Amino acid sequence: MDLILDVGNTNIVIGVYNNDKLLHLWRYATSNVSTSDVFGLFIDNLLTRWDIDSKKIQHVIISSVAPNVMHSLENSILKYFNITPIIANCTMSSNISLDVFEDPNFLGVDRYVNCIAGFNKYGGNAIIIDFGTATTYDVIDKNGNFVTGITSPGIKISADALSQKASLLGTFQISKPESFIPTNTLESLQVGLIYGQIGQTEYIVNKIKKELNKPDMKVIVTGGLSSIISDGTDIIDFVDTTLTLDGIKLLLDENK
């Protein structure tokens, strides 16, 4: 079995695969990682709770965009699993070409593994969107060549900025409003955030298709808010909430 860690700025997604099958998936707040013991015990308890023998874990791979927690994470794997984890990066072998970059790691490993999974699961000629801390749009052609990428502030970043800069608004839950015509402050914020993101998504996707003269490109989305966004538009072809984990697993299989 393989243990897969997708370390984002907000959450750490933890997955256990038996061959190609994802057995379980958990989320852990990145901010909670303080020491190797805290994180190591957390994972060990998860595996025990779900009757997974930690001694059967053969490989561990970490894909991270949060370098400040990596020392604790790496040490936790060494200490509690006696395994040296593989640290994913964009120079590792895959069927995605990043020749557009002088330094492939400029892209970000999270986006690289999204492209790997998108290409392997759905084929090329695709736009892959990740609604995470940032919202990212990555384009791969029919042969798996990376074409271009676009980055914009994510919904949570926008919500946090509103809360911090407009103190009377306070914190609020990000969810899809029942009506597009708000009748209170909370609904007003939700309409602006959710439908603003939907409008941005439709505009950028249509613009990419037009600029590349590829109107038939597939649109694949992932990330915690992907289901909410996809419910409000017909421009999305596939919603895949495990895309990033699957991409890390594919990268592990190619390089272990």
Dihedral, CA atoms, 110, 116, 117, 119, nearest 10 degrees?
140
Sign of the alpha-carbon torsion through 22, 25, 30, 34:
negative
Active-site residues, by number, are 110
**209-234 per-position pLDDT tens digit:** 999 999 999 999 998 888 889 988 99
**146-193 per-position pLDDT tens digit:** 999 999 988 887 777 776 655 545 565 677 777 788 778 777 888 888
**Residue 106: CB atoms within 10 Å:** 11
pLDDT of amino acid 168:
47
CA distance 220 to 208: 14
**Angle at which helices 185-212 and 155-165 pack, to 10 degrees?**
140
| Pairwise pLDDT comparison (134 vs 239), residue with the higher score | 239
Phi–psi pair at 152, nearest 5 degrees: -140, 160
Nearest to 26 by CA among 1, 2, 54, 5: 5
